[in-house]
Structure 1
Amino acid sequence: MSEDIDVVVIGAGQAGLATSHELGLRGIEHVVLEATTVGSSWLGRWDSFTLVGPNHTVRLPGAAYTGDDPGGYLTRAEIAGHLQAYAGRLGRVREGVPVRRLGRREAGGYELATDGETIHSRVVVLATGAYQRPLRPAAVAGLSADVLCVDVLGYRNPGSLPDGPVLVVGSGQSACQIAEELVLSGREVVMACGRAPWFLRRVGGRDVFEWLIDSSFYEQTPEQLASPAARHGANLQASGAGGGHDLHYRTLAGLGVRLMGHLLDVDGHRARFAPDLPEVIAAGDAGFRFVCDSVAAVCRRDGFAVPEILEPAALDTTAPTELDLRGFGAVVVAVGFRSRYTEWVDVPGLVDAQGFPVHADGESLVAPDLHFVGVHFLRRRRSSLLFGVGDDAAATASRITARLRLRT
């Protein structure tokens, strides 16, 4: 069985729903295909997961946050509920329709193979999310089978892990939040650290996200980065748990987390770490100072006094380079995500060496009428975020509308 649809959006997360909203405003008939259920990717995070940005930064077109706690942080269930209500108003989503394969048709357009039918479409928007596949680094490949190894999507809560100490591998928001939760539950926690920026949760009565949104930080384009690989850099260390609070290497060390350099490899129960903890901490502190400068620049521009920000306290950066993992309950890996487009999209040259789409303003350079929305750093740093994806969705919807009208 086959069906012809002019425009198909694949994925009903914030990117797909924002694109649907913008296409609807322009009178473009379309459907949104969701592999499981709306909000499932958020519900798949660990039990205590919350947004890191304040609720008022949920600025999806037609679905901005309007609740009574703009400075709070939505839980995973609340985020999913918000998206489900959004999808219900749009009325374009078909749930439980995974696209198994997407390929080009000789006659033009695209063929989408689903479990129930084949769909032919003139235009396709890939909105399958910025976080598609948790990265499992080669460094943990040699871990003994008697030590559980889970990635960030496999972790649920401290009680879900076997008894014993836990090694957390990673440096960004997820790694820090999981390490904090584990140590507060009474677990012994060792952390293999990477280079991630950090800052205080609030300065001058404002959330760090408010300062950064008011600066040019989230307007940064891929071309302004030091290298293409920098798109994979860790996000600012912070937490929205418990009403939002400071969370970084110093707070973790203060709770008793043992900080190590980055993980080199594991041979059975023997884990080796680089002797680079001083450089790791210095890199994070450089990020701290960058945000300090951004705050000061906003204040000078807007005529406000620059708030006092104390220099970070000294941190002991001595650490061993080997660790015996016998007796450890688990290793939790939270080192970021990678795309999985090439697993199901049959278009040669679709992505670059880093797995990011090869595109111009969101449209594939190798496959006309194939668009991307919700990709990290697609157009700007904010392209995949709840306060930034709407602009990309609007740009893509406008391009699709203009193209379709030229053909009629």
Structure 2
Amino acid sequence: MAEEIDVVVIGAGQAGLATSHKLGVRGIEHVVLEASEPGSSWLGRWDSFTLVGPNHTVRLPGAAYAGDDPGGFMSRTEIAQHLRAYAGRLGRVREGVPVHGLRPRQGGYELDTDGGTIRSRVVVVATGAYQRPLRPSGVAGLAPDVLCVDVLGYRNPSALPDGAVLVVGSGQSACQIAEELALAGRDVVMACGRAPWFLRRVGGRDLFEWLLDSTFYEQTTEQLPSPAARHGANIQASGSGGGHDLHYRTLAALGVRLVGHLHEIDGHTARFAPDLPEVIAAGDAGFRFVRDTVVGVCRDHHIPVPDIPEPGALDTTAPTELDVRGFAAVVVATGFRSRYTEWIEVPGLVDAQGFPVHVDGESVVAPDLHFVGVHFLRRRRSSLLFGVGDDATATATRIASGLGLPT
């Protein structure tokens, strides 16, 4: 016999837990179903992973960072511990209950779980912004004697076979992995994509502090050049070792060989686009955008503009072919895509980019089906540790209104 629950939240990461907190504040009875344990997705990252934003940017409702190192960067295990403690205080999480299927029914939804069938009037999907690593079709032809791992399969340099490594990607993860491999003495080649970069600290302040004082994280989807821009890389940076500059120039200084976009791998031959100059120029344009944002913050707050030097010269000559015979591995870190349609049986649920089609977080094709923790759901900060609480508030308010309860 199916269990009846008015409101179900799927996922006990930061989005699901923030939503649970906000539902609880409004006296809305609910449960949170978690496939593994709270914060488990963070433990799926590589061993040395840390937050890129400083600890003080962990601003979850009812679980803001309160430690003695606000300017530091928590490790993956520390983030998971923080979320587990949060879940324990909320007391709404059922661990080890994956949801395999979700379908509409009269008056609500039916969920297939390892614990049996659940029927719910309202469902909040909070399964995270990073659901399925994207593996470009160009790597499909790689010879089987060269290991290929994605960002969730990479752990540390010693876990890879001996030899050189080709890193494919341009964002924070790709840069951090390439840096770690180079520092471990590996010969690293990086197939680069377009990604903005900036200095970790300018004028005695962290990059995130400047951006939080601007409207950067308030940007909406409508303000982007195209819907596909939601998949664009984040600003290249690292929180490792207390936080430091990390971009194509710092990688080149470590001996990482930069090449253009990966076109294809045919057996042991990797082919790249001859676009490294354009890739570097695009990143430098991102640098100047952030620099102008910092200048704008200074103007608005009537403070002196810090010295921000122009990017230094970088050799952009690069081969368009590479023999990967004898390479240890190809590490693919090219972002993530959603997997909602693999288990949610609602036609028209997502758009061409795989993002939910919604109004204020509620599906336009499935009333009472809400999403939280989606990248750019409402704003650029929607999935982030300092922004998801606002989306959780909005969704809890919308649910309360729909249930006829005080908002």
- TM-score after normalising by structure 1: 0.99
Aligned to 1:94: 94
Determine helix, strand or coil for the equivalent of 2:389. helix
Aligned to 1:22: 22
Aligned to 1:46: 46
Aligned to 2:266: 267
Aligned to 1:212: 211
CA distance, structure 1, for counterparts of residue 315 and residue 121 of structure 2: 59
Deviation for aligned residue 1:406? 6.6
CA distance, structure 2, for counterparts of residue 156 and residue 39 of structure 1: 18
**TM superposition outliers: structure 1 runs of 4+ over 3 Å:** none
Equivalent residue runs for 1:125-204 within 5 Å? 125-204=124-203
Describe the superposition over 1:339-373 as per-residue Cα deviations: whole angstroms up to 9, x where unpaired.
00000000000000000000000000000000000
Aligned to 1:242: 241
Aligned to 1:364: 363
Deviation for aligned residue 1:2? 1.4
Determine helix, strand or coil for the equivalent of 2:274. coil
Structure 2 unaligned regions, length at least 5: none
Aligned to 1:255: 254
Q: Which amino acid aligns with 2:72?
A: G
CA distance, structure 1, for counterparts of residue 332 and residue 136 of structure 2: 8
CA distance, structure 2, for counterparts of residue 406 and residue 253 of structure 1: 58
How many residues end up aligned between the 2 structures? 406
Deviation for aligned residue 1:116? 2.2
Q: Which amino acid aligns with 1:51?
A: L
Q: Which amino acid aligns with 1:70?
A: P
Equivalent residue runs for 1:278-317 within 5 Å? 278-317=277-316
Deviation for aligned residue 1:135? 0.3
Q: Which amino acid aligns with 2:214?
A: S
Determine helix, strand or coil for the equivalent of 2:209. helix
Aligned to 1:81: 81
Deviation for aligned residue 1:280? 0.2
CA distance, structure 2, for counterparts of residue 375 and residue 204 of structure 1: 33
Aligned to 2:35: 35
Q: Which amino acid aligns with 1:53?
A: G
CA distance, structure 2, for counterparts of residue 248 and residue 115 of structure 1: 44
Q: Which amino acid aligns with 2:3?
A: E
Aligned to 2:376: 377
Deviation for aligned residue 1:204? 0.3
Determine helix, strand or coil for the equivalent of 2:404. helix
Q: Which amino acid aligns with 2:135?
A: R
1:330 aligns with 2:362: no
Aligned to 2:68: 68
Deviation for aligned residue 1:115? 1.5
Q: Which amino acid aligns with 1:26?
A: R
Q: Which amino acid aligns with 1:375?
A: V
Q: Which amino acid aligns with 1:334?
A: A
CA distance, structure 1, for counterparts of residue 293 and residue 17 of structure 2: 32
1:56 aligns with 2:56: yes
Equivalent residue runs for 1:227-238 within 5 Å? 227-238=226-237
Superposed CA RMSD in Å reads 0.8
Q: Which amino acid aligns with 2:110?
A: E
Deviation for aligned residue 1:375? 0.1
Q: Which amino acid aligns with 1:295?
A: V
CA distance, structure 2, for counterparts of residue 246 and residue 358 of structure 1: 37
